[in-house]
Amino acid sequence: MLQYAAIVLIMLGLYGILTKRNVIKIIVSLNILEIGLNLFIVSVGFVDGGLAPIFTSQNATNDLNFVDPLPQALVLTAIVIGVGTTALGLAIAKTIYAKYGTFNLDEMGEK
């Protein structure tokens, strides 16, 4: 179920990039895309009824139904990267605004 939600988010993000003409909105769409992706990654590791993948004194056996911990680790990295990109994007958006006086791609004088 979570996968579907993630895919819907990815699609939304792509839709946003395709249709929005505003620089900020495109960055937001990009973020939605990334969030959808991250959600998707996490959902891959999800096991129905699984436990947190931590060995404690209660569950020190090998046949426990852990969720996959690796996607969560990946998501952490991906989020960090996503934040970095977003920050950079916003910084560039600011320069664009400074240069063109608008956020709308269609109103900028360049080809």
Partner 1 sequence: MSAILLIVIPLLAAFLSILVKKYSANILLVVSFASVVLLNYIPLEVITIGGFAAPYGINLILDQYSLIALYAVNVLFFLVVAINCAKFKKLSSILLVALAGLNGMILTGDLFNLFVFMEVSGIAAYLMTTTNQKPLATFNYLVQGTVGSSLYLLGLILLYAMFGTLNMQDMAFQISSSGYHIAVTAFPFLLMFIGFGVEAKLLPFNSWVQGILGSSNRLTGPMIASVYAAAIGFVLGRLLTELFVFEGTLLLIVTAILGFSIVAGEAMAFGAKKVREILLFSSIAQAALVALVFLSGFTGLAALLLIANTAGKLILFLITNTATDQLGNDDISTLQGLFVNNKVVGVSFTVAVLNVLGLPMFFGFVLKMNILLEFFQTDHLLWPAVILIVSVVEGIYFIRLLLKLWFKESDLPQVEFEFTLKYVVVVVAALLILFGVYTAPVEQAADDLTAIQYIEGGNL
Partner 2 sequence: MASIELLLIIALASGFLAYLLGRVNRVYGAIVTIVSSMFVFSSLAYFGFTDSLDTTVSILPYVTFQVTYLGMFFAVMITFIYAMVSFFNPMFIKDYKYPGAYSMLYILSMAGVIGVFFTDNFMVMFFFFEFIVWTSMFLIPLGHSRKAAVSYYAFSAVGSFALLFAIFMMREAAGSFGINAGLAAISGTNAIVVFILLIVSAFAKLGAFPLHTWLPIAHGNAPHPFSPVLSGALVKLGAFVAVMALIKITPNSYVIVALDLPLAQYLVAIFAGLSIVFGTLMAIRQDDAKKLLAYSSMSHGGYILLAFSLGSSIGLSGGFYHIVTHALATGAAFLAIAAVGRQTGTTKMSELGGVIQKMPVTYVVYLIAIISMAGIPPMGGFISKWLIFQAVIDKGLILLAAAVFFGSIGSFLYVFRPLAALFLGQEKPQFKGILKEAPVIMLIPMIVLSGMNLVTGIFPNIFLQFINKVIVELGMAPVVLGTYTIQGTNGILDPLQITIAFGIGVVIAFIIFILLKKSKQVGLMDTYTAGNFIYSEELMHYSVDFYAPIERLYEKHTTHVQDMYKSLENKVKEFGNVVKYFFFTNKPEITVFWILIIIGALLWGDLL
Site for partner 1, rule CB under 8 A: 10, 14, 17, 23, 26-27, 30, 33-34, 37, 40-41, 44, 70-71, 74, 77-78, 81, 84-85, 88-89, 92-93, 95-96, 99-100, 105, 108, 110
Name the binder of 35 from partner 2, partner 1, none, CB < 5-8 A by kind.
none
Q: Are 34 and 78 in contact (CB under 8 A)?
A: yes
Q: Which stretch, 14-22, 40-48, 80-88, 92-100, contacts partner 2 (CB under 8 A)?
A: 14-22
